[in-house]
Amino acid sequence: MLKPISGRWHTVYSIISTALQEAGIAILLLWVLPVLGINVPLWGVITVLAAYGVFSYIMYRVGHPTVLLKAVTSPESIVGSEGIVQQDLEPEGYIQVRGELWKASSTASGLKKGEEVIITGIDGLKLIVTRKEV
């Protein structure tokens, strides 16, 4: 099994791969296209390489935070997470956890919509929750 890369190594790999891709684009524009009779002026080459560099930086900034996220490996990993009640739990209803809607039940009475809860267990596809203590 492959070991996940750290945030630092993701940065190193991103820099190396972007440099190699930029070199490939430069080779294409400066040597391959002229063989086919297509000549790109120097300012065009510089513009394309700069635009690709900016694009790569933006994609790195968007994608890098996902490398730092904790891996989710099983449904039980949701235990301990916080959620918000979406439908009153009397004793069953729905809560939102990590952007997903889950059916939930609680032994605590009177959990109303908008209250924060903590997942204490899971029973099949139903979460067991308690009120979050402030």
What's the whole-number mean pLDDT along residues 53-65? 92
DSSP letters, 41-64, are -HHHHHHHHHHHHHHHHHHHHHHH
Q: What pLDDT does residue 24 have?
A: 96
pLDDT, tens only, 111-120: 889 999 999 9
| Model confidence band, residue 125 (pLDDT cutoffs 50, 70, 90) | confident
What's the whole-number mean pLDDT along residues 14-18? 93
Neighbours of 57 (CB within 10 A): 12
Q: What pLDDT does residue 6 have?
A: 67
pLDDT, tens only, 70-112: 776 677 788 889 999 999 888 899 999 988 899 999 877 788 8
Give yes or no for residue 27 having a pLDDT over 70.
yes
Instruction: Report the CATH number of the 75-131 domain.
Output: 2.40.50.140
| Model confidence band, residue 1 (pLDDT cutoffs 50, 70, 90) | very low
Q: Is the CA virtual torsion 47, 53, 56, 60 positive or negative?
A: negative
Give yes or no for residue 42 having a pLDDT over 90.
yes
Domain ranges in the chain are 7-67, 75-131
Q: What pLDDT does residue 4 have?
A: 58
| Model confidence band, residue 5 (pLDDT cutoffs 50, 70, 90) | low
